[in-house]
Structure 1
């Protein structure tokens, strides 16, 4: 599920790429999800909700239902 959320996050980041301000928080969130996919970090519920709001709606929902 994290992989699907990561891919949807990349698509969402590309979609808002014409605005510089959203990229300020989308790119670090994608980096943190990638680190969680590799097992280096654990994602908190608050981060998952912020990912849902700011990066990708479907990707955030997938992260919320993912068991770490």
Structure 2
């Protein structure tokens, strides 16, 4: 999705990572990852942090005929 111009919010990243941790048996559903985990992740992988764009810009960009055809 990032290649198409859609980004994830930090909370969405935490939710996806929490679900994956549950699948791996590292966490339970009652103990999701926290913002502290996200900050640690971003400090270890600074290149993964992108500045989110406004949704209106992304929607306009994704509405072009070439992108829709792809």
Bucket of the pairwise TM-score, normalised by the shorter protein:
0.3 to 0.5
Higher Cα radius of gyration: 2
Which has the larger helix fraction?
A: 1
Provide the TM-score with structure 1 as the length reference: 0.36
When the two structures are superposed, what TM-score results if normalisation uses the length of structure 2? Answer: 0.35
Larger RCO: 1 or 2 (CA < 8 Å, sep 6+): 1
